[in-house]
Chains A and B, each alone.
Chain A
Amino acid sequence: MKIVIINYGAGNIQSIKFAIKRLGYEAVLSHDIEEIKSADKVIFPGVGEASSAMSKLRASGLDKLIPNLKQPVLGICLGMQLMCHSSEEGDTKGLGIFDVDVIKFTNEVKVPQIGWNQIANLKSELFKNIEEKEHIYLVHSFYAPLCKETIAESEYGIKYSAALAKNNFYGTQFHPEKSSEVGEAILKNFLES
């Protein structure tokens, strides 16, 4: 199985590579369009700021490539947010895969949300053998509200999307690679789907 992690200069991708390795697979980091197209599974990571990340995607043509991929794609954290219609962070358009607008948490809660929260209302094969209310690790200031593509929800002041899915596209707001055994099981479900 060929697993490609899209490398567009967005943050800590080493951890994702290591997590995949712990599951017994090898992943390559790449920004090469042909290499990404030829993968069986694509991981789209992201840490940092939305509008500058979108600029990087546009500069390399990845903004055109990603929405047209046919194999399973998993966006993580900012990666998931960029797969949405738009983001309030830097007021940017997204890739438009998920039909939802990413917005900022209000000041009724501490921002960023940092730490372990629970996922509930699990609705996808991505969560096969995962129990309701398991804890997963998140670090974020912006979120996707609940929508028709929500496959897991979490609560921080309000209920929001902890994960999204549409056709071959998946996105998790949390970091499966940093969410202990639960996260590794979710990552395994994606790789073996």
Chain B
Amino acid sequence: MLAKRIIPCLDIKDGRTVKGINFVDLRDAGDPVELAEIYSREGADELVFLDISATEQKRKTLAELVYHVAEKVNIPFTVGGGISSVEDVDILLQNGADKVSINSSAVKNPQLINDLVAKFGSQCIVVAIDAKQIDGEWIVHLVGGKVPTERKLFEWAKEVEERGAGEILFTSMDHDGTKDGFANEALSKLSTELNIPIIASGGAGNMQHFTDTFVEGKADAALAASVFHFKEIGIKDLKEKLKGNGIPVRL
């Protein structure tokens, strides 16, 4: 049976992890490779690296990081953040990334999805969508939820699927950082209306939230950052809990 996936997300700036990470056993809390190895050992199913640096060196630094992660880690990982061309993706995949995630660049130029899928295949193209509700309507936002667009979540998600994306990473900006649970109603609608896997993101606060997003939100995978980084939730404990709740996981 296909397992539900648990995915820690690491924010990267200039090749280092940002956000305070509370791992006492970590020699270097800013080293993404070491952190990736720890998560992999603890049973993470996948990893996401989100690059938030904006320097000219960015492309090269990120490619080097990908190379070093691929060298050490034996589970799949996705890289996102500022990817905007076929060339960007080519470099990351060649250095060992399994998938890439695109966000703003897809909204600005939807044809990019088709171009990437044609060249690299659906299986490695994840489209990330950030959205929040405005007057009861889910609206796609850019720049970490700061800038609203004209696009509506469900229409955009459908278009993303039709253009060939292999997966959607949906972050609810209304839930992100609240620790109040995932946006399960919207997730369930996405999961029902679309026929590609949906990754839930934004709002994880406790273990029950993960059960809820798999059951009520019908999500295929759940992504979180701070609850894992600050060891509020251990991945192994979480998976045992999910298994106890009848959710298929890899243990």
Contact = CB atoms under 8 A, between A and B. Distances in A.
Interface string A166-193: 0000000001011111011000000000
Given A19-B74, A179-B74, A113 B2 contact: yes
B48 to A, nearest CB: 13
A183 B74 contact: yes
B221 to A, nearest CB: 7
Q: Tell me whether chain B's interface is mostly helix, strand or loop, or mixed.
A: loop
Contacts of A177: 74
B1 A14 contact: no
B40 interface: yes
Interface stretch (B25-33, B89-97, B136-144, B179-187): B89-97
B71 A137 contact: no
Nearest to B40: A180
Nearest to B96: A14
A155 B1 contact: yes
A21 B77 CA distance: 19
B85 interface: no
Contact of A110 (B74, B120, B195): B195
Interface string B3-25: 11100000000000000000000
Contacts, number: 97
B123 A141 contact: yes
A188 B213 CA distance: 37
Interface residues of A, number: 36
B195 A116 contact: no
Interface string A96-122: 000000000001001111111110000
Given A48-B120, A107-B195, A178-B98, 19 more contacts: A11-B121, A12-B93, A12-B97, A14-B95, A18-B70, A22-B74, A47-B121, A47-B123, A47-B124, A110-B195, A110-B197, A116-B5, A135-B3, A139-B124, A140-B123, A177-B74, A178-B75, A179-B74, A183-B74
